[in-house]
Amino acid sequence: MTVLSRIDELIGWLVPPNDVINQKEMVSRFVEASLGKCLGARVFVVGSTASNTCLHNEDLDINLYLCKGQEDNWFTRANEFFFSRASANQANVLRKVSFLPLDAKIELLINEVVVKICPNDLSSLYFTALQEEFNAFVGSENLFKKSLLLVKAWLRYDAPKFLQGSNSDVIFFR
């Protein structure tokens, strides 16, 4: 067995199974339609889910781009809208809504998928686009994304064993 086929096998173990990916896609479509209807806002999935570099149990990061004047009350309107639809939509079961005031984010738990909604955050949209551009530049059958997955997996699963008790800060990618 070649090194590349072993790497592909390892990555196959690291990425979520297709049913989890399909669940995240269904939840993202639900959130996008709901926020579009409630606020008339543009919604984009960003981060590791958008770039297909997510590990098991990573959050679904969503950016919400609001019209001028909605920045102060968007979370109240979204919260009311999600709770009004919670019992009506059997396919997407809303279990929890939390507002994170320091970050001005909403965190939802829908069908066991944690969704973090952040308003008007261009940096994560830029970062997702940068990942895609860099992956296209590197080429070689998504070598950049595969490397990113391996680094993220090491940081999450192996690095804490080596860094216990040290003062090192570990950077986690989205």
CATH number of the domain where residue 36 is located:
3.30.460.10
For residue 111, tell me if it sits in a domain: yes
The answer to whether the CB of 25 falls within 8 A of the CB of 16 is no
Range of the domain at 140: 3-157
For residue 96, tell me if it sits in a domain: yes
pLDDT digits (tens), the chain, 174 positions = 688 788 888 888 888 888 999 999 999 999 999 899 889 899 999 999 998 899 888 999 999 999 888 888 888 888 888 877 766 656 778 888 888 887 788 999 998 899 999 999 999 999 999 999 999 999 888 889 989 999 999 888 888 887 776 555 555 544
How far lies 38's CA from each of 21, 69, 75, 168, in Å? Answer: 25, 15, 11, 43
How many CB atoms lie under 10 A from the CB of residue 120?
14
Would you state the pLDDT for residue 157?
A: 85
Domain count, the chain: 1
For residue 62, tell me if it sits in a domain: yes
